[in-house]
């Protein structure tokens, strides 16, 4: 056998061995471990490790793979929450809200639903504005916390929600007071009274009771004073009108005196 034949036979043998042993043999040649198909649990663990490191974008990618590639595996439910939690921790609250809400709607009997509902409230809680700004997110946080408390009153997350709900209501009360005080300063007393009475009716025992009661009393006093002033002004205007009419009648009488008999 010539050298060329020997080389050709060796090459063919190499191809044959490689095809028989697959990539594991090739990896061992290059000092690499044989590749093993990732289990759903192992893939989820990879995503969780990325989550713990704060690599939320990578965590979302891996959790999404778990959810999409193993939809019938129970670990897929945890991956759904992992996606929502990763969005939440990355302060992507709109995306987190969508993910948590999807979990609640798709898995209403899952034991993690109270947690997802609490997190829904927290998505809005973290987007609340100061009392001089729009309170839409504050109202939404209130709605979600109240929904959780009503549905799962014994859950530990309901207890946590109650604490946050008090803060949310206080923020809403302070917003109403801020507007009411503005109306009071600009002498729009009727509008101010509506705000103060709303606080007294819906936000009692939140630290604003005494101040609100005082402003209600003062506002009602201003409304009465305004009503008295307007009544006096109306009376003066009526008296002035009558005096003017009498004066005009007297003037007309002078210009056109009554004619005697035979004239």
pLDDT in tens, 126-136: 999 999 999 99
Residue 70 has what pLDDT? 96
Select from 124, 126, 148 the least CA-distant residue to 136.
124
Burial class (CB in 10 A: 0-12, 13-18, 19+), 6: exposed
pLDDT tens-place string over residues 204-251: 999 999 999 999 999 999 999 989 988 888 888 888 888 888 888 788
Give yes or no for residue 15 having a pLDDT over 90: no
As a whole number, mean pLDDT of residues 161-183 equals: 97
User: In this predicted model, which residue has the larger pLDDT, 26 or 182?
Assistant: 182
83, 63 Cβ separation under 8 angstroms: yes
Region 42-53: mean pLDDT is 97
pTM of the model: 0.76
Q: What is the mean pLDDT of residues 186-207?
A: 96
Q: Alpha carbon of 254 to those of 249, 250, 251: distances in Å?
A: 9, 6, 5
- Among residues 50, 112, 49, 31, the alpha carbon closest in space to that of 76 is found at 112
If pLDDT is split at 50, 70 and 90, which confidence band does 258 have?
A: low
Are 206 and 169 a contacting pair, CB within 8 Å? yes
**Residue 222: other Cβ atoms inside 10 A:** 16
Helix %, strand %, coil % of the chain (to 5) = 75, 0, 25
Query: In Å, what is the CA distance from 219 to each residue of 190, 194, 214?
Result: 8, 10, 9
- Give exposure, 142-162, as e/b (b: 16+ Cβ within 10 Å): bebbbebbeebeebebbebbe
């Amino acid at each position: 056998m010539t050298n060329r034949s020997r080389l050709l036979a060796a090459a063919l043998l190499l191809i044959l061995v490689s095809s028989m042993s697959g990539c594991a043999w090739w990896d061992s040649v290059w000092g690499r471990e044989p590749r093993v198909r990732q289990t759903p649990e192992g893939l989820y663990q990879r995503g969780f490790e990325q989550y713990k490191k704060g690599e939320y974008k990578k965590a979302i990618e891996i959790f999404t793979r778990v959810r999409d590639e193993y939809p019938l595996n129970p670990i897929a439910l945890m991956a759904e929450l992992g996606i929502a939690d990763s969005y939440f921790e990355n302060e992507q609250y709109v995306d987190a809200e969508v993910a948590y809400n999807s979990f609640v709607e798709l898995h209403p009997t899952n034991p993690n639903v109270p947690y997802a509902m609490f997190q829904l409230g927290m998505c809005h809680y973290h987007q609340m504005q100061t009392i001089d700004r729009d309170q839409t997110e504050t109202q939404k946080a209130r709605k979600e916390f109240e929904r959780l408390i009503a549905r799962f009153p014994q859950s530990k997350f309901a207890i946590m929600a109650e604490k946050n709900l008090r803060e949310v209501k206080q923020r809403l009360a302070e917003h109403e007071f801020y507007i009411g005080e503005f109306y009071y300063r600009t002498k729009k007393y009727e509008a101010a009274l509506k705000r103060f009475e709303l606080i007294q009716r819906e936000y009692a025992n939140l630290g604003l009771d005494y101040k609100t009661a005082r402003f209600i009393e003062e506002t009602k006093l201003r409304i009465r004073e305004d009503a008295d002033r307007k009544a006096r002004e109306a009376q003066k205007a009526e008296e002035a009108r009558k005096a003017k009419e009498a004066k005009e009648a007297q003037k007309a009488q002078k210009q056109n005196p009554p004619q005697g008999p035979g004239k």
